[in-house]
Amino acid sequence: MQKKMNRMKLACVAALVSQCLMASSVSFAQVKETGVSKKAPTISAAMQATVDRISADSMRGHLTFLASDLLEGRDTPSRGLDLAAEYIAAQFRAIGLEAVGNDGYFQTADWNVLKKEIRRRPGAPVPPAEAEPTTPTIVRNVIGVLRGSDPVLRDSYVLVTAHYDHVGIKANEVGDKIFNGANDDASGTVSVIELAKVFASMKERPKRSIVFMTFFGEEKGLVGSRYYGKNPIFPIEKTIAGINIEQVGRTDDSEGPQVASLGVTGFDFSDVGAIIKQAGEKTGINVWKHPVNSDKYFGASDNQALADQGIPAHTISVAYAFPDYHRPGDEAHKIDYDNMVKVNRAVAVAVEQIAHSPAIPKWDDKNPKAAKYLEAWKQRNPNK
Q: Is the CB of residue 154 less than 8 Å from the CB of residue 208?
A: yes
Q: Which of 120, 250, 86, 236 shows the shortest CA–CA distance to 181?
A: 250
Closest to Zn ion by CB, 330 or 364: 330
- Quick one: which of 72, 185, 271, 336 contacts Zn ion (CB under 5 A)? 185
Smaller CB separation from Zn ion, 51 or 167:
167
- 156/180 with CB nearer Zn ion: 180
For position 302 contacting Zn ion by CB under 5 A, the verdict is no
- The least distance separating Zn ion from the CB of residue 224, rounded to whole angstroms, comes to 12
CB distance 141 to 226 below 8 Å? no
Nearest CA-CA partner of 227 in 160, 148, 141:
141
Coil, strand or helix at 276 = helix
Binding mask 194-223 toward Zn ion (x if CB under 5 A, else -) reads ------------------------------
Cβ atoms of 188 and 347 closer than 8 Å: no
Rg of the chain's alpha carbons, rounded to an integer? 21
- Among 308, 241, 227, residue whose Cα is nearest residue 279: 241
Q: Which stretch binds Zn ion (CB under 5 A): 76-84, 184-192, 267-275, 369-377?
A: 184-192
Examine residue 184 and tell whether it contacts Zn ion (CB under 5 A): yes
**In whole angstroms, how close is the CB of 255 to Zn ion at the nearest point?**
18
C-beta of 187 vs 309, nearer to Zn ion: 187
Residue 268 CA from chain centroid, whole number: 17
Which among 107-115, 126-134, 238-246, 261-269 is the span making contact with Zn ion, rule CB under 5 A?
A: 238-246
Alpha helices in the chain (DSSP H): 7-23, 28-34, 45-52, 56-66, 79-95, 111-120, 187-200, 223-230, 272-283, 293-296, 303-307, 337-356, 371-380
From the list 45-53, 69-77, 79-87, 243-251, the region that binds Zn ion by CB under 5 A is 243-251
Tell me the window of 1-9, 242-250, 315-323, 351-359 that interacts with Zn ion (CB under 5 A): 242-250
Cβ 354 vs Cβ 273: under 8 Å: no
Residue range at the interface with Zn ion (CB under 5 A); choices 53-61, 179-187, 358-366, 371-379: 179-187
Determine the size of the site formed for Zn ion (CB under 5 A). 3
Per CB under 5 A, 165 contacts Zn ion: no
Q: Which is nearer to Zn ion, 184 or 268 (CB)?
A: 184
In angstroms, give the least distance from the CB of 241 to Zn ion: 20
Contact predicate 234/226, CB 8 Å = no
Closest separation between CB of residue 185 and Zn ion, Å?
4
Q: Which is nearer to Zn ion, 72 or 246 (CB)?
A: 246
279-302 residues labelled b (16+ CB within 10 A) or e (exposed): bbbbbebebbbbeebbbebbebbb
**Of 148, 143, 366, 365, nearest in space to 377 by CA:** 365
Q: Which residues bind Zn ion (CB under 5 A)?
A: 184-185, 246
